[in-house]
């Protein structure tokens, strides 16, 4: 995986972030979702590099081989703001002052927070298989809770760690034929580590508490995104069924929103890398 890319660990002062980076040109930061690692982008990243981009793929705080502070009662250490700050520091250390950020699943919430908090740094935003947290929590209702029940299970104290930790291979299922053997092996190693399981659950606990509260405050203050936004969603997943056209949701937060559905299951970077890469390249060229 990632032939020609450099792999290193960057200490941000608050966390130690495993990052893969390669290529040259307009910088693009790619943020993975749950329960993946940066390796989920192993088919997309080389295409973007070949298209003239400097591509950066980190493991988010606590995921994969990245490590952050111990969880705290208010979930501040695993808030999207804290994780976004990690990523901005990573890009600074790599010499990228202004860059595009594309996030999938949980990574889309980090990317969104980064765009709100660091608009001077983010030139373009991509949100894949995601809409704002508060849209789900405040408008999703019973239907959303039944479809995405895991959000509320993961947010419970202690019990999810015990349940998942008893047999992580059964809980987190992945197919090496679809994911790629190296990606699958890296992911499987990560999700067997108790500290990774805990950090991934803290991501969800933060999502329904501090992250949602900060997002509601931004909405009440009338904050909007000034950069162009790309919304991609998997046609063989349930996001469109639950929220309708995600672009319409994002237009509540931004004026320049484009995008389309991708013929894929949820992990689009693994299942439809050419389509994802082409959508990103076309978006950044427009």
Q: What are the catalytic residues?
A: 105, 266
For residue 246, the Cα-to-chain-centroid distance in whole angstroms is 16
Using CB atoms within 10 Å of the CB of residue 81, give its burial: 0 to 12 exposed, 13 to 18 middle, 19+ buried. Answer: middle
H or E segment to which residue 82 belongs: helix 80-93
Contact assessment for residue 164 and residue 200, using Cβ atoms and an 8 Å cutoff = no
Write the DSSP symbol of residue 178: H
Cα distance between residue 47 and residue 5, in whole Å:
12
Answer yes or no: are the C-beta atoms of 216 and 142 closer than 8 Å: no
List, in order, residues 6 or more apart from 231 with CB less than 8 Å away: 126, 127, 128, 246, 247, 250, 257, 258, 259
- Helix/strand/coil for 11: strand
Residue 179 and residue 184: Cα distance in Å, rounded?
6
Helix axes 106-117, 210-220, angle to 10 degrees: 40
Question: What is the Cα–Cα distance from 92 to 12, expressed in whole angstroms?
Answer: 10
**90, 148, 82: which is closest to 109 by C-alpha?**
82
CA distance readout (Å), 270 to 101, 160, 186, 210: 18, 27, 14, 31
């Amino acid at each position: 995986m990632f032939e020609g890319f450099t792999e290193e660990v960057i200490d941000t002062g608050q966390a130690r972030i495993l990052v893969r980076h390669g290529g040259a040109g307009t910088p693009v930061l790619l943020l993975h979702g749950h329960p993946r690692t940066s390796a989920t982008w192993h088919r997309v990243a080389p295409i973007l590099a070949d298209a003239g981009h400097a591509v950066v793929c980190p493991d988010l705080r606590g995921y994969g081989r990245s490590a952050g502070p111990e969880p705290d009662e208010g979930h501040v250490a695993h808030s999207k703001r804290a994780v976004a700050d990690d990523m901005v520091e990573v890009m600074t250390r790599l010499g990228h002052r202004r860059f595009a950020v594309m996030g999938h699943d949980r990574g889309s919430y980090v990317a969104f927070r980064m765009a709100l908090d660091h608009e001077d740094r983010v030139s373009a935003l991509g949100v894949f298989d995601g809409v704002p947290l508060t849209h789900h929590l405040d408008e999703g209702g019973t239907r959303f809770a039944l479809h995405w029940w895991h959000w509320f299970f993961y947010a419970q104290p202690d019990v999810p760690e015990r349940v998942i930790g008893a047999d992580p291979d059964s809980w987190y299922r992945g197919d090496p034929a679809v994911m790629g053997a190296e990606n699958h092996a890296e992911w499987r190693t990560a999700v067997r580590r108790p500290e990774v399981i805990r950090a991934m659950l803290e991501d969800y606990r933060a999502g329904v508490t501090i992250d949602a509260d900060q997002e509601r405050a931004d909405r009440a203050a009338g904050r909007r995104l000034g950069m162009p936004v790309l919304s991609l969603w998997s046609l063989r997943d349930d996001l469109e069924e639950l929220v309708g056209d995600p672009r319409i949701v994002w237009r509540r937060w931004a004026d320049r929103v484009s995008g389309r559905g991708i013929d894929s299951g949820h992990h689009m970077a693994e299942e439809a890398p050419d389509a994802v890469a082409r959508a990103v390249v076309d978006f950044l060229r427009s």
